[in-house]
Structure 1
């Protein structure tokens, strides 16, 4: 895939694609990437573009990060309430091109999964409220040691509603209750204990891009099969999970990509897909 760079309207989100990896960056640094109406529109536009590119090209991984001092400090309430008449529209299922079972704010977090490739979030600075919920939509979250994370919706008398009932299933329930009830801000180590982040690393964006490139060098068919296996089998009854495991393995064995993996391993080189 050739290099490409795109800027959304108002440049609130940037998108660069190189070597099968999409580098998506929230780009409202002076506001800690706070989510206003333009940021919402920009994020939805990038998700739609990535979904289209995944179907027609060789996109294999996504890195999601934020420019400036923070990943995302959450909803910019003042900006959002500047057009309060639009707020109810955010909760209408199927609006703005969303799937029938999702509304706009849920799409902001869950839409990354629709692309069908691994998504890695690189977190630093403030990762609050909607920012944390967007990050939970990623498959992997790499976190700077000095980052602070929080679920702050309780401060506004509301619940976290950006798909967290789906994306936080790997978070310890007791931690999730406490953080959601209290709005307490936690450091990276505590967030990792809760299951909010995958790894703590001093250069999360750099590491996320390196990991994405590593994943992009693996068999795309195997990556898709692994994704489907974990998405469907982990919550399925044992018999269904084991049947899916065997079905997916059978779909890979002896095919061109799997044969290339074997040849590359034996020849001591990187596989070519």
Structure 2
């Protein structure tokens, strides 16, 4: 729980990710996030959740150094499944969850944000899925959620190029709800959260449940297939090269093996 801080005011639970310098999503942080949701389950005074990052970033992605400690593709698939389960819990959580995104939401950070019901962004924020530049693919639901928000063509462009889009572009593409100057982001997000907190908790829970019916069976099949593919790709020589190149801060050389 050292990675997260929970504060409560006016019916809003503010969860702050605090794992400097980049708020990278380690398995321990994801587990802590799941635990904090357990805590919120038993706190009726919290009606809406806001999730944001301390410091310069929302979250710059998964903890790549942790990947070097994983020894097999099946273990890597289990890591993906952990993230998928917690982010799926957020998307179906019976209290609204709003992401306030500044700095960067990349890789797992964007996948976490996409699990939230609403996304407010700083105008100059960077949102992207750079996994292919490491010889990997997104594994926390990114390949399935991103096309739901931006369409298949734009999702393909973001995935294939690994290039992020700005907060303003994210609104234009349908990935985020509204964009603000960074100094206005958290106040505007909390303002929205407090407005939603005045609604009936029973009605909010019902509305969230109804939104889940918009998911097709293909989404749930795709999530499972993504985790399996995540592990398969991890075992490639290209993935090993991409991860090592990231750690060494150099351009990877991929061979297709």
Q: TM-score range by the shorter chain?
A: 0.7 to 0.9
Q: Is 1:217 matched with 2:198?
A: yes
TM-score between both structures, scaled by the size of structure 2: 0.75
Structure 2 vs 1, CA of residues 45 and 89 (structure 1 numbering), >3 Å: closer, same or farther?
A: farther
Q: CA deviation at 1:227?
A: 2.1
Q: 2:42 aligns with which of 44, 50, 53?
A: 53
Contact 2:13 2:50 in 1 (8 A): yes
Instruction: Map 1:1-273 onto structure 2 (within 5 A).
Output: 8=1, 11-29=2-20, 31-50=21-40, 52-53=41-42, 57-78=44-65, 80-85=66-71, 88-89=74-75, 91-92=77-78, 103-168=81-146, 169-202=148-181, 203-232=184-213
> 3-state SS of the aligned residue for 2:158?
helix
Q: CA deviation at 1:208?
A: 1.4
Cα distance in 2 between the residues matched to 1:113 and 1:183: 25
Deviation per CA, 1:200-252, whole angstroms, max 9, x where unpaired?
A: 0122222111111111111222222322333325869xxxxxxxxxxxxxxxx
> 3-state SS of the aligned residue for 2:187?
helix
Unaligned runs of 5+ in 2: 218-257
Deviation per CA, 1:60-88, whole angstroms, max 9, x where unpaired?
A: 1110000000100002212x035324874
Unaligned runs of 5+ in 1: 1-7, 96-101, 237-273
Q: CA deviation at 1:106?
A: 0.6
Q: Note the aligned Cα RMSD (angstroms).
A: 2.4
Structure 2 vs 1, CA of residues 157 and 108 (structure 1 numbering), >3 Å: closer, same or farther?
A: farther
Higher relative CO (CA 8 A, sep ≥ 6), structure 1 or 2?
2
Q: CA deviation at 1:189?
A: 1.8
